[in-house]
Structure formats: C-alpha cells, structure tokens
Amino acid sequence: MTSPRPSDEWLEPGVFEVVKDVFRIPLPLPNDALRAVNVYLLKGASGLVCIDSGWSLPESRERLVRCLTSLECGPEDIERFLVTHVHRDHYTQAIALRREHRTKVSLGAGERPALEELRRPGYSGLQRRTQELRRNGAHEVADRFYRERAGQPGPTASDWELPDDWLTGGDVVRAADRTLAVIETPGHTRGHVVFHDAERCLLFAGDHVLPTITPSIGFEVVPSPDPLGDFLRSLARVRQLPDAMLLPAHGPVVPSAHARIDELVDHHGRRLDNSLAALRAGADTAYEVALQLKWTRRELSFDELDLFNQSLAVSETAAHLVLLEAQGRARLSHEDEVNKFAAV
C-alpha cells in the first residue's frame, strides 16, 4: 500500500476537525479536475451550519450523510447552507437537501443574474460558450467544443432554484454560535462571497483564495466586463482584513490567507506581463496570446490541455487582456466581431 502524496492528502474521505467545532468534509467530484470540494460544518448549541454544500450527486450525498452520522447527526440537523458561489459543486446539493429538509439556503446577491440566466427557458450554455470563444479568436476551439457538446442536455432547472435569501457585503451572519462577516469577493464569479470569523481568525474562502491552484477567472454564465480587475480588487479587500487561517473549498487548510493572496497577486502580475509580451510579439487575440503562454503548474503548452481547459485558458487570457486595456497598457479594437488587442 502506498501512502498518498502530501498534496493529495486533503482528498482523503473523512471528517476533519480544523478547530473546535469546525469540521472539514471533502466530498467527491467525479470526472472533475478539482477532484473534491470541501464543505465546512460549524457545530453549535443552536444547530449545524454548512458552508458550501457539494455537487448534487448520489456519491456526494452518501458521503455527506455518512460523515454527519459519525458526528451523531444527519442532514435534517443542518439549519442553513451559506454558499460561497453559484457553481454546481458548491450550490446544487444545498438545493437538493432543502427540498427534503427545508434547510435555509443563502447565496451572494451578485449571483442573481447568473441564476436567472440558467433558469431562463431556452438558455444554451453551449451557444454562449462558443460565441465567447469566437469573439476571442478561438474559432477552431469553438468548432471542436460545438462538435463535442452539441446534443448534450442543458442545465437541469431543478438544480438552479433560487436561494431563500441573498447575502451582501457587510452582512453579519450568526451561524452555530459564531459571528461571520460576509465579504463580497467578485472575480471567480460575480457574486462570490467569503465568510470571515474574526474572533477565531478563520477565513472560509470558497474558491476566491485556493492554496495550490489559481481559481478560474472569466468563465461564467454572465461574465463581468473586467473579471480579473474584480478579482484583484477582491484579493486586496481580503488582504486588508487581519490575517486568518485559510479554509478553501479545494485543497488543504493552510495557516495564512495573506501569504497565499500575495502569491496570487504575483502570479497575475507575471501573467499580465507575459500577455503583454505576447502582444508585442505579434499575437492580437486572446486565443493567439493563450497559444504563447504556459499553462498549469506543469507549464503545459495550450495544445497539451484538454478541450475544456483550452476553453478556460482562452477566457482567462481574455480577462488578462481586458485588464491590460483598463490599465492603459493595451488597446482594444473589433474586427469581424473578434476582439483584437495591441500593446500600447
């Protein structure tokens, strides 16, 4: 038997007490590069509160119930889900459990346009996705995306029911005998929020600050005009809070949110510089810039990524070019409905 690599230890099934009465429960994400999502269970005299919920799939539900049983409770004991953002690995299990147990579900108010779009009859994520790829000059990726995905079922309306209430920045939530401040952190999604327990120095960060990977930027149902600018402003906002232990949705708990924020800011600073260098070398669309960059910590070329990650890479590169334009370092023009960029 081989022991797991240290970087994979956080994926091990179980219930892990991070600090007293705060439990990390990794739930499985089949067929997903992220591999697992951490939900955090807060236990208090008044009951249980869960931060994020997992993807509504039978194996995720079974794991959650088993973990709750080991704490001598069940899903009916969860009073409320505080969900960091609308992505399905965070939101949909809360909605499924609410149907059975009337659990209250709370979500950032900035996610409302995304949910309304997902619920709109006739919504096609594929159409939206391929249009965006074409706008970024990635016609070849769009064609392959269309061939692979056409005919697949669209979103399931029941996954995307509205929450019971909307959270906004400055809200203070009483949850399982503790006080959590709601901080708006748009970037990964427009309505992303994190929860800060100042008294115990804990940051429930969702996907805003991840310890070993960078969250995707610019990949969402109703994208922001400047998702990377939003994200960097959100990092700065959280960096102004007192430092806290980082409790991320994907990856292990680490001691300092500030240290990781500094690394993320550096990372995007380098990516901005590299994107600008690619423009200077003649690339003029997000697609052409993406071809010149290296991807993931393994420094892969664009062609080595799978199709889904190629489409993420194009969105991410577009977000960098848009920010370069906002910073006055690049100029945007439109040609045949394609966004063209040039270094200034």
- Residue nearer to Zn ion on the CB measure, 89 or 197: 89
Long-range contacts from 150-156, C-beta under 8 angstroms, 24+ separation: 150/126, 152/126, 154/123, 154/124, 154/125, 154/126, 155/118, 155/123, 155/125
- Residue nearer to Zn ion on the CB measure, 189 or 317: 189
Supply 270's token pair: 């380098």
- Residue nearer to Zn ion on the CB measure, 54 or 137: 54
Q: Please select the residue that binds Zn ion; options are 52, 171, 197, 207, rule is CB under 5 A.
A: 207
Part of the chain binding Zn ion (CB under 5 A), chosen from 71-79, 126-134, 147-155, 206-214: 206-214
134 burial via Cβ count (<10 Å: 0-12, 13-18, 19+): middle
Q: Computed over its alpha carbons, how large is the radius of gyration of the chain? A: 20
* Buried/exposed code over 30-51 (b: 16+ C-beta within 10 A; e: otherwise): eeeeeebbbbbbbbeeeebbbb
**Please, what is the minimum distance in Å from the beta carbon of residue 50 to Zn ion?**
15
- Residue nearer to Zn ion on the CB measure, 137 or 187: 187
Window 222-251: residues binding Zn ion (CB under 5 A):
249
Part of the chain binding Zn ion (CB under 5 A), chosen from 21-29, 126-134, 168-176, 207-215: 207-215
**Please, what is the minimum distance in Å from the beta carbon of residue 313 to Zn ion?**
18
* Per-residue x/- track, 250-289, Zn ion (CB under 5 A): ----------------------------------------
Window 60-119: residues binding Zn ion (CB under 5 A):
89
Part of the chain binding Zn ion (CB under 5 A), chosen from 21-29, 135-143, 200-208, 286-294: 200-208
Amino acid at the residue 278? A
User: How many residues sit close enough to Zn ion to count as binding (CB under 5 A)?
Assistant: 3
**Please, what is the minimum distance in Å from the beta carbon of residue 14 to Zn ion?**
20
Q: Which residue is nearest to Zn ion (CB)?
A: 207
Backbone φ, ψ for residue 101 (5° rounding) = -120, 5
Long-range contacts from 271-274, C-beta under 8 angstroms, 24+ separation: 271/320, 272/320, 272/323, 272/324, 272/327, 272/329
Q: Which residues bind Zn ion (CB under 5 A)?
A: 89, 207, 249
